Chains A and B, each alone.
Chain A
């Protein structure tokens, strides 16, 4: 806030008849304000009065700059009668003649730009009754929080072959939220994986969830979204009259189970809380989404297992669907026919990719990678796979071993096109699992290691393929851009040439005209001289005309 601005504003405010000047400290953001002028900010904020866009009724009786100033000055003066008090629109409204909508907009503008209510001490009336606010906008209370990626990470980590355990229902991760720190004799429970964290490596998120260190990493992407949700939740907490005890929450859950969505009965069941609080509480409990996610995961797993068991029938489905799809699937079909059941198993993931047409948000990371990989041609995939395996190998000799092992198996089975198999093995999301099944039991230990590296290689491949594809697209685009630019430049040049030609013609015409004008001028002067001569000979005095002649001669000679 520059004091100069304050002085200017207040000096303008005090009428000259009044000797005493009042000094107001106004916010720096509104230092543009002048009593005797209308600033650009005002014009753009309220175009109705000034005929800007949307202000099509400029010049009508009730909307013009004069009326605007009258409104504005009245409201500001009214506020300055008692700057400590918050001026409300309803109060101003009774003293002003005019459209309530327009006045409210004007008032809102003055309020938000800091011309009024800048030093009001009484809080906004809205803040005093957040309950009312919340009720007026009830649907806002319902919010969808992003689904934590528990199931993905679980699937990825244990995808090798733990079987049924992978898809067990995640425990109610709302435990911490429901019962707080109460659980006696136990460490805090991770909100994401549901495992008890005994090592004490616990991170607490904004919204009070405890997360174990492993989950915290996977969750870091989601943290931003969680934070927002947490903020909202906090604000919702503000107007809950009192905290919920464990017993009350239990009662609420019981009530929900018993009475469905009949909130009156539920409220009676809980007794100590009212209807709104009950609803808000239930919305806050996050386990609903976890349950849903768990159920999805389960059905997913069933789908997969059914596929593996009756692979034969699925094989024909692949055939049918692949008739219009690309060579990738064709190649795999050939292999499948050649190598029998084992290969069929390997095809399952690809089939699933075929069936799910677009990248699904709920699909696992590996599925998305696989989908990415199928986007380009085989050779590219093979090259990328080779590159990623090579890189992995040089990074860690153990990885080399793993791949060596799995590749040997392949060589035993494949007949010719090695690279196709490599790519295949990197494409599917459940690849690791499949390989694990083909490896004999005595290699169980190595299996996990190789699976892990294969997953990494798959990731590398997918990323590599995506990069290659992107590069291709970029090249194409660049060429296109160059072409277009060249054509643009050419047209511009042609245009300029046309213009030059045009101007040359114009110049020629100009020159010709100039010449004729010169000739006319000369003849005029000659005639004039003749007239003068004759007049001189005749002895007529021509004093007046001399000046004219001089002027004329002066002008024409240079």
Chain B
């Protein structure tokens, strides 16, 4: 049994494009401005849901937030556009292989600032950003209920970007194969960010990080008092 799995490890496989997480949820970010009012939001959407859900969602959100009805078509357009983009990737092939990438979180949610970096295996289709974010919030005693979902969406956005890059890399690889051009040229670009596996996981390496590097991968959370939020906002806008 063991020898079989050792001799033929499935190092990489191709699957149809999807989010490289357990739940195939698409991160959606909406930023709509109507008549001087601005609505910004981020959430996840199941692409299997019927599109009729979007309009009811938009209406409901506008009602809950007491936004004028003129927001609804814009929100609808924004969400539909992002879903359409996701669906344009679906059906194409994506390479799933172990690839550990550093993900960065740099968010401000209401009064909470979160900055963090951690490693994520793009090939792990069992990953769950929401659960990760929940653990993070629990561990750090973050009380604001909006922080967790925001972190999860941020993770999903980065995964989405990497996955879509992988799709285009696959396409390029196919084209270049036909031309008999060297293959690695297109691949190296996507790979340059990934963790050097051999360095840490090889027989000489160690998965225990050096103490002086800890600060890079530790989360930093700041709670800004209300007065300062305004200041941060203005600097962000500039």
Residues of chain A at the chain B interface (Cβ within 8 Å):
51, 54, 56-63, 67, 70-71, 74, 88-91, 93-102, 104, 124-126, 128-129, 131-132, 135-136, 264
Contact A128 B141 (CB under 8 A): yes
- Please give, as numbers and ranges, the residues of chain B lying within 8 Å of A264 by CB-CB distance: 66
- Complex contacts, B208 vs chain A, CB 8 Å: 70, 74, 95-97
Residue of B nearest to A78 (CB): B208
Would A132 and B137 be within 8 Å (CB), given that A57-B10, A102-B124 are in contact?
yes
> Are B118 and A100 in touch, CB under 8 angstroms?
yes
| Chain A residues with CB under 8 A of B15 | none
Chain B residues 31-45 with CB under 8 Å of chain A are none
The distance in angstroms between the C-alpha atoms of A58 and B5, with both chains bound, is 7
Is B121 in contact with A125, judged by CB distance below 8 angstroms?
A: no
CB under 8 Å from chain A, chain B span 142-175: 142-143, 145, 148-149
Partner of B127, one of A58, A89, A101, A128: A101
Kindly list 5 other residue pairs between chains A and B, CB separation below 8 angstroms, not including A57-B9, A60-B9, A129-B141. Answer: A60-B98, A61-B198, A61-B201, A62-B121, A95-B209
Chain B residues whose CB sits within 8 angstroms of the CB of A132 once the complex forms: 137-138, 142-143, 145
Interface residues of B in 124-146 (CB under 8 A from A): 124, 126-128, 131-132, 134-143, 145
Docked pose: A99 CA to B129 CA in angstroms? 12
Q: Are B207 and A101 within 8 A (Cβ)?
A: no
* Residues of B contacting A90 in the complex (Cβ-Cβ under 8 angstroms): 135-136, 139-140, 218-219
Bound CA–CA A544/B45 (angstroms): 91
4 nearest interchain CB pairs? A99-B121, A101-B127, A135-B145, A88-B139
Q: Is the CB of B131 within 8 A of A104?
A: yes
What A residues does B9 contact at CB under 8 A?
56-60
Q: Which residues of A contact B123 (CB under 8 A)?
A: 57
CA distance A94 to B142 in the complex (A): 18
* Residues of B contacting A88 in the complex (Cβ-Cβ under 8 angstroms): 138-139
In the complex, chain A residues whose CB is within 8 Å of the CB of B140: 90
Do A57 and B11 form a contact, CB below 8 Å, given A70-B208, A97-B200?
yes
Is the beta-carbon distance between B118 and A93 smaller than 8 angstroms?
Answer: yes
A and B contact pairs by CB, cutoff 8 A, 29 listed:
A51-B5, A51-B6, A56-B9, A58-B5, A59-B9, A60-B9, A60-B98, A61-B197, A62-B100, A62-B197, A67-B201, A67-B207, A90-B135, A90-B136, A90-B219, A91-B139, A93-B118, A95-B214, A96-B208, A97-B209, A98-B119, A99-B120, A99-B127, A100-B118, A124-B138, A132-B145, A135-B145, A136-B149, A264-B66
For window 193-218 of B, CB contacts with A under 8 Å fall at 195, 197-198, 200-202, 206-209, 211, 214-215, 217-218
Q: A51, A59, A67, A90: which has the most chain B beta carbons within 10 Å?
A: A90
Do A101 and B206 touch (CB < 8 A)? no
Residues of A within 8 A of B11 (CB): 57, 60
Given the known inter-chain contacts A70-B206, A132-B143, please indicate yes or no for A101 contacting B121, CB distance below 8 A.
yes
In the complex the two chains form, what is the Cα distance from A135 to B148 in whole Å? 11
Q: Report how far A161 CA is from B104 CA in the complex, Å.
A: 74
In the complex the two chains form, is B214's CB within 8 Å of A94's CB? yes
| Choice from B6, B121, B124, B143 contacting A129 with Cβ under 8 Å | B143
State A71–B209 Cα separation when bound (angstroms).
Answer: 11
CB neighbours (8 Å) of B214 from chain A are 94-95
A contact residues around B127 at 8 Å (CB):
99-101
C-alpha spacing A372/B6, complex, angstroms: 61
Q: For A71, what are the chain B residues with a Cβ–Cβ distance below 8 Å?
A: 207
Q: Which residue of B lies closest to A107 (CB)?
A: B135
CB atoms of A101 and B128 under 8 A apart: yes
Known: A70-B206, A70-B207, A93-B118. A61 touches B98 (CB 8 A): yes
**Are B2 and A51 touching (Cβ within 8 A)?**
yes
Q: Are A97 and B119 in contact (CB under 8 A)?
A: yes
Interface pair A99/B202, CB less than 8 Å apart: no
B-chain residues with CB within 8 Å of residue A129 when the two chains form the complex: 141, 143
Nearest chain B residue, comparing its CB with the CB of A71: B207
